[in-house]
Amino acid sequence: MTRAKHGLAAFGLAMCGAMAPASAEDVIVSHGFSNFGALKYGPGEPFSYVNLDAPKGGEISLSTLATFDSFNPFTRKGVAERTGDDLLYENLMIAAADDPYGSYCYLCTTIEYPESLDWVVMNLRDDVTFSDGTPMTAEDVKFTIDLFLDQGIAEFRSIIDGFFENIEVTGSHQIRFEFTQAAPKRDRMGLVGLWNPFSKEWFARTGARLDESTDEEAFKTGAYTFRTPGSSKEWATAYDFPAVQDGHVTVDTIPSGNITGGSGFVFNLRREKWQDNRVRDAVRMLFNFEWSNQALFFNLFERHHSFWQGSNLEAVGAPEGAELAALEPLVAEGLLDASILETEVLMPPINTSESNRVDRRSRRQALSMLEDAGWSLGDDGLLRNAAGETLELIIIQFNAEMDRIINPYIDNLRAVGIDASLRRVDTAQYVELRRSGDWDLTNIAAGQGFEPSLGLKQWFGSETAENSSRNIMALADPAVDRLIDAVIEAKTLDELEPRTRALDRVLRAHGFWVPRWGTTDYWVAYWDQYRHPDPLPPLDLGLLDFWWYDAEAAQQLKDAGAL
């Protein structure tokens, strides 16, 4: 959406409105909201990391991995373009890149709510338009929510269905949300603020549906419309060309304060052979990250081991205190093995970096676990169960860059008798295979945020196990469900952090993933015609949000023949 008067996307302003009771009913009127403590920014206060004088205009080229055939990211049909999502869609409320728990009015001016959070009134800005110039009203906001409840992805509908008792348009730019008693209080304001309004008129005019792929420009929301016009090895070796040496291209490694972790290969738990944790553990230990990191990644990565890695939400060592207290009832009820109360949290094995083969100890241990699980090694070198079936493992992948990583892994799997293979397909086939469940091992990026809540059900909840674009491994565990509920019900950080650590511990103990790798740094190489705040905020690189184009520097590059 465009801001007709102020261009607040570039400015990052926290909209006006004091956080104070408005009447004898103790109704709070505010410019933002936080579940945990005070907001960092006051009404009308600019985010500290933005340049209020940043010029508009310029050009930028970005890369993207794989192709797409749709501009609709809200359906499972087709392959949606993702690079421009943040440009096309704007939320009613936004987060600051240095305030992990705060939400600030963006397409609204103020919010009104009682301390009970039984309802929220949102006062919308009257200067916001869709990209075709038509004004955004409260009717568009209500239409958007109704549209998602009717045509949205099933797993999302299952989460928000029953959240609202009533949604009422109370003015052209005012809307009131009333919540059911079942709606978790910590999620109420977050769910109100996350909506990115669609144009009701555009849908009526075009007949478009939210659950269908489309080549239209993402329903015309956002300030931009489209027109048709890397790897660790590249980062370590490719950025020494003349433009870098001459200072025309800036190469920088920028630390990030975000949570890392959560990426890996996941098992298809719908298949009986992957139900046994011993089989999964054997497969897990045969991936040699240490060799991959040295030989393929130039030691630029670290191994993922947690879904909240590097934060206060990550489980470490053995459980204690409030985390232990969260686990004990589940053990008492037989939902968890008692060993989880005393053993240290599961970590990936450490292998030799001298060879792509895992060490003999790991191979022997993996084979022993497979034999204990009922798989016997035959004269042909393949494992078979009592029915004579081989232990087939198919890894699906669309990215050819992954071949050099997956093929050595397959060699290690085959060395102990697993009938492993790589099935590389195009993007559309990859999406369809994942949806149909025709795979054994595939990628997932399930990293989580600082304030986990309802979204955990989409990633790990039993209710999404049968039909989900996130819980693709089909995890269904009552203990996990109970811990997710405990996290959702947390009212303070002192409750949230240990409960999340308990969940992290149990998820990792499941062994449904082979952890991959990542970095806490941003790798950035750019022509010396772009500028950014210094220092950058810890939680966002903000390339398309608060960097800007320096026309004078661009002209100098052109004069030097660099551009």
Residue-wise pLDDT for 343-363, tens only, equals 999 999 888 888 889 989 999
Please give the share of the chain, as a percent, with pLDDT higher than 70: 87
Q: N- to C-terminal Cα distance for the chain?
A: 32
- Percent of the chain beyond pLDDT 90? 66
- pLDDT of 107 above 90: yes
The answer on pLDDT for 42 being more than 90 is: yes
Rounded Cα distance, 511 and 280, in Å: 6
- Per DSSP bridges, beta strands 99-105 and 93-96 are antiparallel
pLDDT of residue 418: 98
Which residues are bridge partners to 390 per DSSP? 384
pLDDT at 538: 92
Indicate whether 380 pLDDT > 50: yes
The pLDDT score that the predictor gives to residue 230 is 58
Q: In the structure, what pLDDT confidence band is assigned to residue 87 with cuts at 50, 70 and 90?
A: low
Residue 516 clears pLDDT 90, i.e. is over it: yes
Answer whether 546's CB lies under 8 Å from 10's CB.
yes
Q: Which residue has the higher pLDDT, 262 or 229?
A: 262
pLDDT of residue 214: 53
DSSP 515-551: E-EE-SEEEEEEETTEE--SSPPTT---TTTT-EE-H
Q: Can you list the domains of the chain with their CATH numbers?
A: 2-53+89-208 (3.40.190.10), 232-257+520-559 (no CATH), 263-518 (3.10.105.10)
How far is 176 from 200, CA to CA, in rounded Å? Answer: 18
pLDDT at 3 over 80: no
Which residues, 6+ apart, have CB-to-CB distance to 38 below 8 Å? Answer: none
- Residue 206: pLDDT band (50, 70, 90) is confident
Of 66-75, 304-313, 467-476, give the range with the top mean pLDDT. 304-313
Quote the Cα angle for 502-508-509, to 5°: 90
Quick check: 5 pLDDT over 60?
no
pLDDT score at 316: 98
Find tokens 């669309």 and name the residue.
398
Each residue's pLDDT tens digit, 241-277: 888 888 998 989 999 999 988 999 999 999 999 999 9
| pLDDT greater at residue 535 or residue 207 | 535
305-347 per-position pLDDT tens digit? 999 999 999 999 999 999 999 999 999 999 999 999 999 999 9
| pLDDT one-digit tens code per residue, 90-105 | 899 999 999 999 999 9
| Mean pLDDT (whole number) for 379-405 | 95
pLDDT given at position 82:
53
pTM: 0.76
Q: Taking 80 as the threshold, does the pLDDT of residue 296 lie above it?
A: yes
Secondary structure element (H or E) that encloses residue 165, with its range: strand 164-171
pLDDT band at 7 (very low <50, low <70, confident <90, very high): very low
Q: According to the model, what pLDDT value does residue 326 have?
A: 99
- Residue-level pLDDT at 46: 94
